[in-house]
Chain A
Amino acid sequence: MNFRIDAVLPASPTSIWPVFFDLGRVAALIPGCENVEELIPLASYSAVMNQKIGPFKMSVPTQIAVDRIEEPSHVTLRASGRDKFTGTTLAVLLSVDLEAAAQGGTRLEINSEIQIAGRLASLGFPVVKKKSEQLFAEFEKRLRAELELV
């Protein structure tokens, strides 16, 4: 599943950039994302994704690795995890691009590839897809609200 956010924000890239590196702040924007820990600064983090999909409650211990950083314009990160109970695996590739807009402010582009695999995906993909869309929509809503404060 691919998701994308495009936005033009009034603040400059350098003022928006710190938001994406305050992981506690970003995690709070992701519904169900808890227990964020920094393992290696700017490189490796862990978190737990708690979600309820249909009748299933999932708790996915997730490893987050930062693949590439170009301050203050680009970051790529990967997240992966597996729920022991449902055998569901989660793999996310997320890229964030910030670019100074010609008319002022910042053009924000977030691209996300999310792969959910395992029994849940095989048996209830439409439900999983819908839930993923809801989660991403909620994330986008919260992120926009957060960035407006910058």
Chain B
Amino acid sequence: MDASKELHAGAEARSDYLEKVTGDARFASDIVVPGMLQGRILRSTVPHAKIRGIDASGALAMPGVVAVLTGKDLQGINSHWGLYLKDRPIIAIDRVRYVGEPVAAVAAIDEFAAEEALDAIVVDYEQLPFVVDAEEAMKPGAPLLHEDQVTQKDFYFRGEAKPVAGTNVFQHYEYAHGNVDAAFSKAARVFEDRFTFPMVFHYAMEPHVVVADYREDSLELWSCAQAPTAVQKVCAQLFGIPLTKIRVHSPYVGGGFGGKASVKIDPLVAALSRKAGRPVRVCLSINESMLTCRRLSAVIDLKTAVDDAGNLTAKSVRVVMNGGAYADTGPAVAIKSAIRAIGPYRFPHLKLEARAVYTNTVPGAAFRSIGGPQAVWATESQMDIIAAALARDPVEFRLANMVEKGEIVRPDLRPLDVDLKGALRSAVAAMDKVSANGPGKCQRGIAVAATDPGILPIAGAIVRLKIDGSVIVLANSVEIGQGVRGALRIVAADALNQPLHLVTVGEPDTEFAPYDWGTGASRSTVVVGLAVQYACADIERQVRDMAAQVLGGQPAQYALVPGGVKGPSGETGLRDLLHRFYGIDSGEFIGVGRVTPNSGQAGFGLAPLFWETAAGICETELDEETGEVRLTNYVSAADVGRVINRKAAEGQDEGAAIQGLGHALYEQYLYEDGQPINASLIDYHVPTLDESPQQMVTLLLESGDGPGPGGARGMGEGGILPVAPAIANALAAGYGVRIRDLPLTPERVWLALREVEKERKK
């Protein structure tokens, strides 16, 4: 791709930068459809209750109110949906299971009328016992949230959830190789630790927003969803409309982080439009988005054995995740958390177990590196605990036990395809350099991670090369701020050898762009990028064939050049070529690219498609009087295969690290009496610029051997993983404080410091 630098000189790959800063960018909330109403949602105020009745007559009598949707309106359609388990009603029917669950929705001529009408709806609840904690929810006699657990096999992810009948467990995953019990009994040392990770919010700047236009036999949506084809599929199942009659547009999305992955509010807005008989826009507040989904919290128990030489020999991982009131993608999150807790280490004996559990809380959902931050928090904290107990340097201890590139972590998974040892060494060297320039009074901590992105190799793209040399790429990869349109633009420009400024990537639209599984799991640049490459190769083949037919010679003698084709007799413009072929001054080339499990030289059927790894090193300062931790310096390193757009890639990695900083120091949902008591921007804190590190280095290593375009590997999620354990490890190294629960709030750190003082005095 080196030639691309000259070809694209001076051009900015991401057109959204300028559109966003000038206010020209179009988001779903900007969409106006003729006759459109505004919708607002009445939410459950109680954690668990039967609905005895809903009186909406007062709301319907108010000026400007057109319709009120309640569970009674779901008759005649399929009322329940889900990705793994069909457990969620479009809107509560006869029961609510968490504070914030939609109970009624109002469509009115404006948002004010709709909001006012909510207060006039009276819901009669019969309260039921509730449970907020996952381990409590697993106990016999705990309130049962769902009596029936209807699974859907291979519906969104491959496979099927394994719920435990008659309990709140909606996923139970187990894996083992070797014999951990025998290995523990023979081990020189065995370490057992419990770690907890709280519920945290995605905090995308744009809340959930959908415009739906339900007609008699069709449905059109403008959605913030990260997976428009999943929205299409779920709505088709619910409303009984053919896929071709459901059209989903994906304008710019103001951040997703998994909170808009799969399907969220689209069925509800579609049902409200169906009831109102008019298009409806529903734009949640951020407070409401906090009641829509969040990361699954986790309790992780690790038991790890080492031999006399300090080699890791066995590991047992037990994860219990709080999945909230509805399963969503929680079954996949639970599996990934168990796998990601292995770490990039060699374990001859391994046992994994994960459960995801229903509770009366906001539904858990996918979030940047599903299950990863929870797992890596536990594993990388414990790696330092073990290293300290064995009097080993934490870097050296990790390197001694880390798998090499090409070595397996688990026999059924693709061997590690990156040099993580090299990445860790690079990060250490970079931090040494940063420290040399810094204040030199900080404590250092490290952590690494290797995760297996759950990427299904299903993607498609259509590319059209016009007579004037301009190019348009059509794909259903959603621009959620990560820069995918820019990346695809570069890939198409390079593959077709056309200048970047003539390449456009269209707004995703299921009516025109081919099927794509969805935007997430660090997959778009790799699999959709490849689909674009394949589509461009299809075009190149067509151009060569046409050139050979029109100009003479063999197809192989021709190659694309900017604006034309070059062959034995020199360059010919595309316009001239098409004119001569069709006999008029018109025409275009259309290429189609598909990625399937059979794609790629090594085959894309083996999971993971690539390993996403990360090495993070932090230097922190601690105010011992207040317990306040400050991240002073941070180095993040990852082998991303090939950087397609450096500015955007660095932004992804740095953004992930700052999001990880929030998880580490500040963020958590707080529940009291079944009520989420800090679900607002006033009470829930994410890092500000002030709290960001003074020095931050991002090392994007390019081995060039990933499965994507130019050897690219996916990235954007890995950077979030090492931050929390690295900071906790720095606190342990510097102050003897080992904290096993996140976030590392000043109160928690201060109390831990006092405990250490007490122990020292004894």
Q: Residues on A close to B: CB < 8 A? A: 1, 82, 84, 87-89, 91, 115-119, 121-123, 125-126, 129
Contacts and interface: CB of A to CB of B under 8 A. Distances in A.
B127 A122 contact: no
Contacts of B287: 122
B45 A121 contact: yes
B152 interface: no
B46 A126 contact: no
Contacts of A87: 45, 119
A91 B129 CA distance: 12
A122 B679 contact: yes
A125 B125 contact: no
B680 interface: yes
A129 B672 contact: yes
A117 B677 contact: no
Interface residues of B, number: 16
A93 to B, nearest CB: 9
Contact of B677 (A84, A91, A119, A126): A126
B725 interface: no
A1 B680 CA distance: 21
B676 interface: yes
Contact of A89 (B125, B673, B674): B125
Interface in B664-720: 672-677, 679-680
A96 B127 CA distance: 21
Contacts of B672: 1, 125, 129
Contacts of B127: 91, 115
A122 B676 contact: yes
Contacts of A1: 672-673
B679 A115 contact: no
A122 B675 contact: yes
Nearest to A126: B677
A119 B288 CA distance: 12
A117 B45 CA distance: 5
Nearest to B671: A125
20 contacts: A1-B672, A89-B125, A91-B46, A91-B127, A115-B127, A115-B674, A117-B45, A117-B46, A117-B99, A117-B675, A118-B45, A119-B45, A121-B675, A122-B287, A122-B676, A122-B677, A122-B679, A125-B672, A125-B677, A129-B672
A17 B527 CA distance: 75
Interface string B26-46: 000000000000000000011
B755 to A, nearest CB: 26
B97 to A, nearest CB: 14
Given A115-B674, A122-B45, 8 more contacts: A1-B672, A1-B673, A87-B119, A89-B46, A89-B125, A91-B46, A91-B127, A117-B99
Contacts of A118: 45
Nearest to A129: B672
A5 B125 CA distance: 28
Nearest to B127: A91
Nearest to A93: B127
